Structure 1
Amino acid sequence: MKPFFAILTGFAVLTGCQPEPAGEAVARVEVGATGPASPAPSPGAMVGSAVESACRSIIFENTSLTDCIAVPTRHRIATALADGEGKIFRSLSAFAATREKGDIAFAVNAGMYDDDGAPIGYFVEDGNRLQTLNTNDGEGNFHMKPNGVFFGTGDRWEVRSTEDFLANVQDRPDFGTQSGPMLVIDGKLHPDITQDGPSKAIRNGVGVDDKGRAHFVISNAPLSFGKLARFYRDELKIDNALYLDGNVSELWNPTTERLDTGAPIGPILVVERKVPDDE
């Protein structure tokens, strides 16, 4: 483990969970994307010499969303934070410059972070725990409890509340990231999330369906916590979903050449193809 990571112990100012109506707009660049309300793809399926996008566009309650689906038989999920020199990426563009496009199905921001881009909660990369579980009380979205952890080993991925994770997960996963709040807990909306509150922002989250597929959803227009939570519960029928962040939410989809840019981000969730494009 590099010396850089050894200092990730305290919980600094929470850049990733400040009040969301302020903040920089995210520039979304997408070439050749499917239109709204397109049918669900078979993520990673070969179409001639091309690979079908793992992401689909959906209109939910008059808001455009992008649902990117990771399938255990076709994809691996990993976290990423910094390059080989210990420099935190801070953008999907910087991360993309280090990877072959054919290896990546998509990547998104992975939760909340401090002023330097370091995770403020539990974070595991390649089986190495770079930050411990954060059970502190505090201000901001991260501390809107229950918050939770998205984690996995091999082809099994889960979202659990922080209390559930602490009580029941004994083995360190291959990857893990903590964020908050939970959007859906055991099939019910987070108790502090209203039906359609006044705060609107570009937001993203993650949840795992009953087939073991991870759904990474990002809004293409500002929406409330309640609408994003209802999409997971009512449209995707997902019992446990976790909020990742707002305003800074970004997506890299190499298949459609979408590479969002905006305010600096922190941790990244990467969905890799088990069979790269060129094989």
Structure 2
Amino acid sequence: MRWLVGLFLLAQGAGLPAAAVTCEDIDHLGASYTICEVTADEDLQLFLRDSAGDILGGFSAVENDTGRELAFAMNAGMYHQNRDPVGHYIEDGIQESRVISSDGPGNFGLLPNGVFCIADTLRVFETFDYLDRQPNCTHAVQSGPMLVIDSALHPQFIANGKSKFIRNGVGTSSDGSRAVFAISNNAVNFHDFGTLFRDRLSLPDALYFDGKISRLYAPSLNRSDFGWQLGSIVGVLN
């Protein structure tokens, strides 16, 4: 029996790599969410097209194209009918589409919206702040609306809003060292989704990715959502 204990302790202390992403189910205001936390030193990327230039559209396609396994992934940002990004998009330092700073129809145009930037740090920027700062993002995707801006909820959110959907998004810590991705497992309104990031996760800035089509790949939870073909995808490669 001692040798079993010894092997366990050896494995615990032998410098084995920690899981790249920590995912868990949590409750907030009577709804269930799955959250996945990623630190800035992980291989977090955006994925849109394969090596032939075609839209990947799904989690398995990312793995097939890169030849690597995903530790975590979810849809990231809104897309047109052809699945091109609605707003700003950068992948591997190459800009595919520009920033859209004007208001417009739908959730994307519900200003303020924002940009999720992957660089040495992980940041959610309000769009005009992003334009002012011009951060050097290796990967970036614009979406909207912002959920939390400097620890304040989006000004147009209503506490008892009747519009409820499965929703997903990302929040970042004040020092840029980590990002927390969340998807609701129940239909929720924007207000409650925003308070998840501000009050439950204590993150000062958070951005909405999408609703209805929201999907998560979290192998540590034996979860791989299926459904519509996706546009841009965010994920961590092992």
Match of 2:91 among 103, 125, 139: 125
What is the rounded CA distance, in whole Å, between the counterparts of 2:18 and 2:147 in structure 1?
35
Match of 1:142 in 2: 108
Match of 2:193 among 187, 206, 228: 228
Structure 2 SS opposite 1:233: helix
TM-score (norm 1): 0.75
1:54–1:105 Cα contact (<8 Å) kept: no
Structure 1 SS opposite 2:43: strand
What is the rounded CA distance, in whole Å, between the counterparts of 1:255 and 1:116 in structure 2?
32
What is the rounded CA distance, in whole Å, between the counterparts of 1:164 and 1:52 in structure 2?
30
- Cα RMSD (Å) of the superposition? 2.2
Match of 2:146 among 174, 182, 186: 182
Match of 2:40 in 1: 72
2:21–2:37 Cα contact (<8 Å) kept: no
Q: What is the CA distance between 1:100 and its match in structure 2?
A: 4.8
Q: What is the CA distance between 1:99 and its match in structure 2?
A: 4.3
| Correspondence 1:1-279 to 2 at 5 A | 51=19, 54-73=22-41, 75-100=42-67, 103-154=69-120, 156-169=121-134, 171-210=135-174, 212-273=177-238
- Which portions of structure 1, spanning 4 or more consecutive aligned residues, are displaced by more than 4 angstroms? 46-53
What is the rounded CA distance, in whole Å, between the counterparts of 1:56 and 1:99 in structure 2?
26
| Percent of residue pairs identical | 38
Larger radius of gyration: 2
1:54–1:106 Cα contact (<8 Å) kept: no
One-letter code of the match for 1:67?
I
2:46–2:91 Cα contact (<8 Å) kept: yes
What is the rounded CA distance, in whole Å, between the counterparts of 2:173 and 2:18 in structure 1?
27
What is the rounded CA distance, in whole Å, between the counterparts of 1:124 and 1:182 in structure 2?
19
What is the rounded CA distance, in whole Å, between the counterparts of 1:162 and 1:271 in structure 2?
24
Structure 2 SS opposite 1:198: coil
Q: What is the CA distance between 1:183 and its match in structure 2?
A: 0.3
One-letter code of the match for 1:166?
L
Residues 49/189 of structure 1: CA separation in 2 closer, same or farther (3 Å cut):
closer
Q: What is the CA distance between 1:94 and its match in structure 2?
A: 2.8
What is the rounded CA distance, in whole Å, between the counterparts of 1:223 and 1:93 in structure 2?
28
What is the rounded CA distance, in whole Å, between the counterparts of 1:53 and 1:270 in structure 2?
10
Residues 52/168 of structure 1: CA separation in 2 closer, same or farther (3 Å cut):
closer
Runs (5+) with no aligned partner, structure 1: 1-45, 274-279
Q: What is the CA distance between 1:234 and its match in structure 2?
A: 0.4
What is the rounded CA distance, in whole Å, between the counterparts of 2:152 and 2:20 in structure 1?
33
One-letter code of the match for 1:182?
M
One-letter code of the match for 2:112?
P
One-letter code of the match for 2:55?
I
